[in-house]
Amino acid sequence: MRSTTAATALGRSLLVSGRLAAARQAPAALAASARLHLQTQAFSTSSSSLSSPPSSSSTSSATASRNFHSSGTTNQAREVQDFPILYDPVPNNHTIPSFMVGTENGFLPRQDPLERLPEEYKELEELLQKMSLTLPDGSPGLLAQGKFGDACKSLPQYDLSKVTDSEVISALYRDYTFLASSYLLEPCDINYRKTGEYGLGRQVLPQNIAVPLVQVAEKIGAKPFMEYALSYALYNYRRVDKSKGLVWGNLELIRAFSGDPSEKGFIISHVTMVSHSGQLVANTLKTLEAATVHDRARFDQSLKNVVETYEAINREMDTMWERSLPSDYLKFRTFIMGTKNQPMFPNGVIYEGCWEEPVFFRGESGANDSMVPMGDNLLQLTENMPTNPLTAVLRDFRTYRPSNHAQFLEWVEKRARQVNVRRFAEQDPNSAVIYLAAVDQIRNFRNRHWSFTKEYIIKYTSHPVATGGSPIVTWLPNQLATVLRTMEQVGANVDRSRLTPENKDLADLLYKRASAQSRVLEREVAELGKRFPDQDRT
Q: Which residue ranges make up each domain of the chain? A: 2-86, 119-260, 264-329+362-531
For residue 458, what are the contacts with CB-CB under 8 A and spacing of at least 6?
Answer: 472, 473, 528, 532
> Phi and psi dihedrals of 239, rounded to 5?
-85, 135
What is the Cα Rg of the chain in Å?
23
Secondary structure of residue 84 in the 3-state scheme: strand
How far apart are alpha carbons 41 and 177 in whole angstroms?
19
How far apart are alpha carbons 422 and 408 in whole angstroms?
19
Going residue by residue through the chain, which has 538 residues, state the pLDDT in tens, using 9 for 90 and above. 444 444 445 555 655 544 433 322 322 332 333 333 333 333 333 334 454 677 654 433 333 332 222 323 333 333 456 899 999 999 999 999 999 999 999 999 999 999 999 999 999 999 999 999 999 999 999 999 999 999 999 999 999 999 999 999 999 999 999 999 999 999 999 999 999 999 999 999 999 999 999 999 999 999 999 999 999 999 999 999 999 999 999 999 999 999 999 999 999 999 999 999 999 999 999 999 999 999 999 999 999 999 999 999 999 999 999 999 999 999 999 999 999 999 999 999 999 999 999 999 999 998 899 999 999 999 999 999 999 998 998 889 989 999 999 999 999 999 999 999 999 999 999 999 999 999 999 999 999 999 999 999 999 999 999 998 899 999 999 999 999 999 999 999 999 999 999 999 999 999 999 999 999 999 999 999 999 988 876 6
Which H or E run contains 446? helix 429-452
294 is in an annotated binding site: no
**DSSP label of 336:** G
Secondary structure of residue 94 in the 3-state scheme: coil
How much is the pLDDT for 15?
57
SS3 for 348-389 is CEEECCCCCCCECCCCCCHHHCCHHHHHHHHCCCHHHCCCCH
* CATH (residue range 264-329+362-531): 1.20.58.480
**Helix 475-493 with 389-397: angle, nearest 10 deg:** 100
How much is the pLDDT for 50?
52
The widest CA-to-CA distance across the chain, in whole angstroms, is 74
Q: What is the amino acid identity at position 85? A: I
Closest CA to 270 of 328, 211, 227, 224: 227
